[in-house]
Amino acid sequence: MAGGWRRTVAMAVPLLLVACAGTYRATDTVTSVPEGFRCDSILIAVPRDGSLDGKPYEGSGHFVAHRAAEEFSKYAGKVEIAPADLREHSGLLAAARSSSAHYLVVPEIAHWEQRYSAFDHRPSQAVINMSVVEVDSDREIVSTVLDGTSGTGMLVETSAAAASTRVIHDFVRDLCGGAGAS
């Protein structure tokens, strides 16, 4: 009987390792940094909250804007978040100009699917359309789709927020990693 518990532990360990495994998937991040781009002064718009089947996920827009600000602040000398009620492009552009921002970052939540349990084996998903506009010329220099899927294990973060965090991190790293701050 003494070897019985060892056999049970030996069988349980691989199951726990599988249950803890999680993956995050990002598609369509920046393939090339525009010539002359410097990650220096940025204004970030707050997107509308994401929803799924008519159910809004309150606070998801603020979460995305704050995650983007946190990531851009690793590279940029100045990062600000626009007022949440400012949604129109002309108003955002005017706010960027008045704050002396060189770039306006405009995220849009296209899909926000929150799963509450790792047991259903369906990952949470966040799809964010992300564009970067050069303020002086009002020219869109980057437009991409960030598609993040959370982990599905029992001991990993399974939220749409976790999925968005990873793809936003990767996007900003790819965009600003070689661009440098002023």
CA–CA separation, 123 vs 130, rounded Å?
Answer: 22
pLDDT of 66-106, one tens digit each?
999 999 999 999 999 999 999 999 999 999 999 999 999 99
Q: Which CATH number fits domain 22-176: 3.40.50.2300, 3.40.50.10610, 3.90.1200.10, 3.50.50.60?
A: 3.40.50.10610
Residue 4: HSE in the Cβ half-sphere, 13 Å Cα cutoff: 2
pTM score of the predicted model: 0.80
Domain ranges of the chain: 22-176
Q: Where are the beta strands (DSSP E) in the chain?
A: 41-44, 51-52, 55-56, 78-81, 103-113, 125-134, 139-149
β-pairing, 103-113 with 41-44?
A: parallel
pLDDT of 109-162, one tens digit each?
999 988 766 566 677 889 999 999 999 999 999 889 998 887 665 555 668 888
DSSP H stretches of helix in 82-159: 89-98
